[in-house]
Structure 1
Amino acid sequence: MTNICFYISDYGYGHASRDIAIIRKILSEYNDAKVYIKTYEPFHFVRQSLPYRNVEVIQTRNDVGVVFKENSVTVDRERTKNMLDEWLASWDEYIQKEKRFCETHRIDLILSDIAPQPFIVADDLGITSIAISNFTWHYIFYNLFGETPATKRIKEAYERAEIALVLPFNEEMNIFKRKREISLVSREITVDRREIRRRCGISDNEVLVYVGVGRSFEPSFMRSMKPIEATNVKFLTSSNAELPFGNVISIPNNETETQNYLAMCDLIVSKTGYGTVSEAIKARLPMFLLKRNGFKEDELIGNKVEDLCIGQFISEKSFLDCAWINESKHLDEYTKGFNNLNSRFKNNGIPEILGTVKEVI
Structure 2
Amino acid sequence: MSTILYYITGHGFGHAVRSSQVIEHLTEEYGHKVVIRTSAPRWLFTRPTHGSITFEHEEVDSGLRQNDSLTTDIAGSLEYFSWWEANLTPNVKAELENIDRIMPDVIVCDIAPTGVEAGLRAGLPVVVVANFLWDWILEGYVDESPMFAPIAKKLTSIYSKAQMILRTGLNGGMSRYENIFDIPLIARKSSGTKKEIRDDLDIAHDKIFALISLGGHGLERFYHDLDRRITVAELFTIGEKADNRQKIKVFGRDAAAHEDLVMASDLVIGKLGYGLCSEIISASRGILYTPRVDFVEYNVLAKETEEYVATIKVSQDTFLKGSLDDIIIKLLEMKPPDKTPELNGAEVAARMIDQQYLRGRK
Alignment: residue pair count = 352
The match for 1:79 is 76
Whether the 8 Å CA contact 1:49–1:256 is kept in 2: the answer is: no
Q: How does 1:59-208 map to 2 (within 5 A)?
A: 59-69=57-67, 73-145=70-142, 146=146, 148-208=149-209
Specify every segment of 5 or more residues in structure 2 that has no aligned partner in the other structure, as ranges.
Answer: none
Q: Which amino acid aligns with 1:264?
A: A
Q: CA deviation at 1:302?
A: 1.0
Q: Which amino acid aligns with 2:3?
A: N
Whether the 8 Å CA contact 2:10–2:61 is kept in 1: the answer is: yes
Which deviates more from structure 2 when the two are superposed, residues 11-20 or residues 175-184? 175-184
Q: Which amino acid aligns with 2:306?
A: E
The match for 1:35 is 34
The match for 1:351 is 347
- Give the TM-score normalised by structure 2: 0.88
The match for 2:53 is 55
**SS of alignment partner, residue 222 of structure 1:** helix
Q: CA deviation at 1:54?
A: 1.4
Sort the Cα spacing of 1:85 and 1:257 in 2 relative to 1 into closer, same or farther, 3 A: same
Sort the Cα spacing of 1:295 and 1:41 in 2 relative to 1 into closer, same or farther, 3 A: same
Q: Which amino acid aligns with 1:5?
A: L
Whether the 8 Å CA contact 2:197–2:263 is kept in 1: the answer is: no
CA distance in 1, matches of 2:191, 2:18: 15
Q: CA deviation at 1:167?
A: 1.0
CA distance in 2, matches of 1:97, 1:244: 44
Deviations 1:116-168 (A, max 9, x none): 12221222222111111110111111111255332222121111111111111
CA distance in 2, matches of 1:98, 1:222: 40
Q: Which amino acid aligns with 1:37?
A: I
Q: CA deviation at 1:112?
A: 0.7
Sort the Cα spacing of 1:9 and 1:52 in 2 relative to 1 into closer, same or farther, 3 A: farther
Q: How does 1:329-348 map to 2 (within 5 A)?
A: 329-331=329-331, 334-337=334-337, 339-341=338-340, 345-348=341-344
RMSD value, Cα:
2.5
CA distance in 1, matches of 2:45, 2:36: 9
Specify every segment of 5 or more residues in structure 1 that has no aligned partner in the other structure, as ranges.
Answer: none
Deviations 1:292-342 (A, max 9, x none): 2211111110122234453133321121134443122233554431x323x
CA distance in 1, matches of 2:319, 2:131: 26
Q: Percent identity?
A: 21
Which deviates more from structure 2 when the two are superposed, residues 327-336 or residues 157-166? 327-336
Sort the Cα spacing of 1:245 and 1:138 in 2 relative to 1 into closer, same or farther, 3 A: same
